Amino acid sequence: MRFTKEQESFAAAVRAFCDSECRTLAQRDALTDGGTLSNSPEILHKLAAHGWLGVSIPEAYGGGGAGMVEECLFLEETSRGLAPITAYSTGLTAAQTYLRYGTEEQKKDILGGLCAGEMEAIALSEPGAGSDLGSVRIKATLDGDHYVIDGQKTWTSAAHVAKHLLLLARTDSSGPKHQGLTLLIVPTDVPGLEIRPIETMEAHTVNDLFFTGVRIPVTNVVGEVGQAWKHLMRGLSVERLIIAAMSLGAAERSLEDVLGYVKQREQFGRTIGSFQAVRHRIADLATEIAYARAFVYDVAARIDAGEEEQLAREGSMAKLKCTEIAKHTALEAMQLMGGYGYAREYGMEGQVRKALAPPIYGGTNEIQREIISKSFGL
C-alpha cells in the first residue's frame, strides 16, 4: 500500500526517537537494569508525552484517533528500534476487548491509562488450558455484589507491571466448556492475588498468578456474564496483527544488523558480504520480509476500511508468517555473524531469544494453521 505523507512522517519520527533513546546496548541496559527488565517506564512515558501510545485508540479515551495502519507503523518501528516496551502490545491487545465490550467508565479508565504509559495484562492460560482455552477452570463465584475468585493462571505477560488484569474465569460449569466463561477486571494490588515470576531465556516477562478468595465487584465484568468466549473470538484479526507488526519490525532489525556486519567483516581478503553464498541468503531474507510487510499493511488497511470481521484467515496468516520470518531471520543472522552473533555485545543473541516466543504465544502457530486450513473447509 501507499502511505500518506503524514504516516511516513509519523514512522520516521518514531524511528528517530528509538535511534536516539535505545539504539545501543549500553542505552538499553541503562533502561532495563542491565537487560533484566523487558519494560522501561521511562521510555513508555516519553512515548506517551509524544502522543504516540494508543495511536489507534479513539481520542475520547486519550488515544490518537488514527487507525491500524498507524498502530502497525508504531509497533514495527519500536520493535525495529528495540524499544523496551513489550507490555504495551499486551495492553493494546486487551484494549481491543475493552473497546468492544467495556462500559464507558471502563474504557476511560483502562484505555486512558494505557495511552498515558500505564501497563495492562491479560490472564487467559492455565496449567491445563493453553491452546484449549475452553478448558479454563479458575472459578469466579457470585457472592452478593462481588465475585470471589480462586485458582491459578500462568504465562501471564506483564502482570508484574500491569495496573489491571483482564481475567478469563469460569462463572458457570453447568453447560458446555465454551459457555459459562466471563471476563473480569482485576486490579493487580487486590488482596489475595500473588504474582510469581517465571524464569525464561528473556528478561522478566511472564508470570504465574495465584488467586485465593479474591473479591471483585460485579461492576468489573467486561461485556456479558457467561459470554467471554464470544467476546474473545471477535476481533482476533487485530490482536494477531499486533504480533505480526512487532515481528516484522524485529525481522527488519535483524536484517539491518547482519547487513552492517557482512559489509565490514573481512575474511580471505574480502568482505564476507561479497561472497555469493552470503549475498543470496541476504536476498532471500529481504524478499521474505518485503512480502510480509506488504501483507501486514494490506490487512491493516482493510481493518481500517471496516472489514475486520471478515479477516480471521488473514489475521492468522499475518501472525504465522511474520513470527516465522522473524525467527528465521534472527537465526540466519546469527549464523552469518559467526561467533559475534553469539556475543551479547552485538545484540543478535538477544534478537534470537526474543524471536523464539512469538510463534508460541498469541495462539501457537500450529493453531493458526488450523484456523487457516479450516477457513478453506478442511
Active site residues: 239
Strand partners, 185: 166
Q: In whole angstroms, what is the distance from residue 64 CA to residue 82 CA?
A: 22
Distance CA 246, CA 250 (A): 6
Q: Are 231 and 191 in contact (CB under 8 A)?
A: no
Could you give the dihedral angle defined by the CA atoms of residues 303, 308, 310 and 315, in that order, rounded to the nearest 10 degrees? 80
* Spacing of C-alpha 256 from chain mean position: 22
Indicate the burial class of 306 (C-beta count within 10 angstroms; 0-12, 13-18, 19 or more): exposed
CB-side exposure of 320: number of CA atoms within 13 Å? 15
CA dist 50 and 64 (Å) reads: 10
Cell of 194: 500473588
Please report, for residues 95, 261, 293, 294, the alpha-carbon distance to residue 6 in angstroms, rounded to integers and kept in the order given.
24, 33, 19, 19
